[in-house]
Each structure stands twice: as structure tokens, then as C-alpha cells.
């Protein structure tokens, strides 16, 4: 009963968010677009750089796992 109540409330919030967000997306609101489009590219670049650093640090694990890891991928 509790799970159904939570799922119903979350679904209602999702639908209401879509109802509010849909007209806002088409108005060309530059204040909102700044956060969702312009800043996203910068954060994506930082995230990708961090992933590159993590991947380069994990090259040592490739020696430990050996050929199995190369064949598995």
C-alpha cells in the first residue's frame, strides 16, 4: 500500500513537471536555457576530463587482468 502511494505521488509529480516544463521550453526563456544548455557543455567537458584521468590510472589493472580483459571487451 505504501509503495503504491509513493509511486502514485511520484508519477503525479512527473506529469506536473512535464506540464510546466513543456510550455517553458518553447518560450525561449534565456535564463533557463543558460543553465540547461550553456553550462551543460562545460560540466560535460569537466566530467569527460575526469573520466580520462580515471581511465589512465586504471591502465595498471590491465597488466593484472591480462589478456582476459582485452578479449572480454
Domain chopping of the chain, boundaries? 2-72
- What pLDDT does residue 6 have? 65
What string of pLDDT tens digits covers the 73 residues of the chain? 666 666 688 888 888 888 877 776 666 666 767 777 778 888 889 999 999 998 888 888 777 777 777 777 6
> Nearest CA to 70 among 55, 52, 62?
62
- End-to-end CA gap in the chain: 44
Give the model's pLDDT for residue 11: 85
Q: What is the pTM of this model?
A: 0.44
Could you give the CA distance from residue 24 to residue 1 in angstroms, rounded to a whole number? 35
pLDDT at 28: 61
Separation CA 60–CA 63 (nearest Å): 6
Amino acid at each position: 500500500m505504501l509503495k503504491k502511494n509513493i509511486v502514485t505521488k511520484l508519477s503525479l509529480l512527473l506529469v506536473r513537471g512535464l506540464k510546466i516544463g513543456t510550455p517553458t521550453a518553447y518560450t525561449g526563456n534565456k535564463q533557463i536555457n543558460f543553465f540547461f544548455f550553456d553550462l551543460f557543455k562545460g560540466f560535460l567537458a569537466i566530467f569527460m576530463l575526469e573520466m580520462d584521468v580515471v581511465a589512465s590510472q586504471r591502465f595498471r589493472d590491465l597488466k593484472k587482468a591480462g589478456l582476459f580483459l582485452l578479449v572480454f571487451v
